[in-house]
Chains A and B, each alone.
Chain A
């Protein structure tokens, strides 16, 4: 083997690569337990996908509902407010069950969506995203609503006298001024989605590769003998992701604050 042209014949045998790895990084053996298996990676990737989809897809609805709650004056406003906050108060399992009943393939909404648009939520990652979006929705709406309420409406009035139609006022004044709240709401929604467990597992079950998110995977590990190492690995990943999201939101908030205040 030593006489082969190295560039032409890569060392493909398992034995060879292990020797090589050991030679380069002798301490690698000790940290081996930290390396994620393929299945674990899948759970992490799926979790990120589900949380991102939940955050992005619920954002337009979140901004709309927050605006309506902050500014609207209509009959049934407190009812709408209660409805939005319901997932925060209800046991997640109840929310999951309600989703299953209404958005399942045989549920009224689920059947309609499937027949007309071919969209299916049951036992798919999209269902997990829906459950996460609904669980994070109250947090998102609350944060955006507060920042819209804090906007000085005199500025919007001034924009109107300068010729901006209500739509343009919203885009050019209201949204930028509410941006810190919108970003905070997005981070909260994302964090909630990363940690969401009860509603998701009730609605779309715990199917590896399709609906088994990080939290579900950790739970599964704790249910099998010798799964502690796997649970710990995923726990560290969860901590890293949450911490990263937190730092990112801090950095964004600071950036916006600086833009708003300093020359």
Chain B
């Protein structure tokens, strides 16, 4: 699957000028509110026409302003999950789910319906009306509805933004299952580092209507582009695999190259691929190995880089077992500890801070 997007559009004072190519898997379009993520998604879906642009999916040209090609949204077969669920209030949950199925040319069968209902855990809701559902339930139904329209591509525009943390935690596992089981390419818009770190295979970083970076989540999210990120959320993103699960203590051991981290297990299965987001501000630097500490992860390494970060803060990157872990500390403590590049040090991370 290859999706090529180019869009140039003036929207009042805002200028959208973005292009990227998405490959298989989950492509996260990431950026602050107002960076043009949704405008870009609407262009892909055909809900708005840019002044200039092209949208091509696997050689199928859906938009080309140069050749005056514009395929109407209902002919594109792109599923769209909106920020608000947008369920039809006059239809039951079952009819909402069947709505897209009815119009899809490849009428998906009964077992497809059952499979999606099972995957999203919405079987008990089928005979209810949409307004009798909680926000999280509504969003799950909306995802199911989009999936059952047999889309070639799934566009998800901040599907979790309107939900509280608990509801988010309730839906995220379903999204992971979706990524792993449905086999549909997904373009996922978000402004949350944690969500993107967890779901994305590729990240498109948007900044003021333009694409600032494209690439692997680890690189893009760890890069010094804090202006696009929420400082509090900035951190390292590391990929690994679950090595073992300690059900008694509710902990899982995750191997990241030559490093092992203990994280809360939260339904992790042994052998599963995971991506960990380690917030910079939750990493402590120690020059000698600390003892008598509650933190479970004390990782030996060497200081790779020290950058001043403004506001009296310093960003220290530690090379630990083939990974780079970033830590934000005050420049006062950096001076006090006399940190030097190349010096041996320990990164201390509380397991609780790695709660997914």
Which A residues form the contact surface with B (CB < 8 A)?
Answer: 154-155, 157-166, 168, 172-173, 176-177, 179, 259-263
B103-122 contacts to A (CB < 8 Å): 103-104
Q: Say how far A258's CB is from chain B's closest CB, in angstroms.
A: 10
Residues of A within 8 A of B149 (CB): 161-163
Contact A162 B99 (CB under 8 A): yes
- A164–B132 Cα gap in the complex (Å)? 25
Majority DSSP secondary structure for residues of A touching B = helix
| Chain B residues at the A interface, C-beta cutoff of 8 Å | 45, 47, 72-74, 77-80, 82, 84, 86, 88-90, 99-100, 103-104, 127-129, 131-132, 145-146, 149
Q: Which B residues are in CB contact (< 8 Å) with A260?
A: 89-90, 129, 131
CA distance A93 to B10 in the complex (A): 55
Docked complex Cα distance between A260 and B146 (Å): 22
> Complex: how many Å from CA A259 to CA B91?
9
CB distance from A75 to the nearest CB of B (A): 23
A161→B129 contact, CB < 8 A: no
Contact for A159 among B78, B79, B89, B99, CB less than 8 A = B99
List chain B residues, Cβ under 8 A from A173: 88
Contact B82 A158 (CB under 8 A): yes
Q: Is the CB of A158 within 8 A of B89?
A: no
Q: Report the bound CA distance from A172 to B45 in whole Å.
A: 21
Are B74 and A163 in touch, CB under 8 angstroms? Answer: yes
In Å, the complex CA distance between A45 and B45 comes to: 55
Closest-by-CB residue of A relative to B92 is: A263
A–B Cβ pairs within 8 angstroms, 26 of them: A157-B73, A157-B86, A158-B82, A158-B88, A159-B99, A160-B72, A160-B74, A161-B45, A161-B73, A161-B74, A161-B80, A162-B74, A162-B79, A162-B99, A162-B100, A162-B145, A163-B74, A163-B100, A163-B103, A163-B104, A163-B149, A164-B103, A166-B74, A168-B103, A262-B129, A263-B132
A160/B73 contact (C-beta < 8 A), A260-B129, A261-B131, A263-B132 known:
yes
**Contacts A165-B74, A261-B129; A158 near B103 (Cβ below 8 A):** no
List 10 A-B pairs, minimum CB-CB distance, nearest first. A163-B103, A162-B100, A161-B80, A158-B86, A263-B132, A176-B90, A162-B149, A160-B73, A263-B128, A160-B74
Contact B89 A157 (CB under 8 A): no
> CB distance B86 to A154 under 8 Å?
yes
Given the interface contacts A159-B88, A162-B146, A262-B132, does A154 sit within 8 Å of B99 by beta carbon?
Answer: no
Nearest residue (CB) in B for A162 is B100
Chain A proximity of B185: nearest CB distance (Å): 16
Chain A residues near B104 (CB-CB < 8 A): 163
- Contact of A162 with B103 in the complex, beta carbons under 8 Å: yes
Taking A163-B104, A163-B149 as contacts, is the C-beta distance between A158 and B80 under 8 angstroms? yes
Residue in B closest to A172 when the chains form the complex, CB atoms: B99
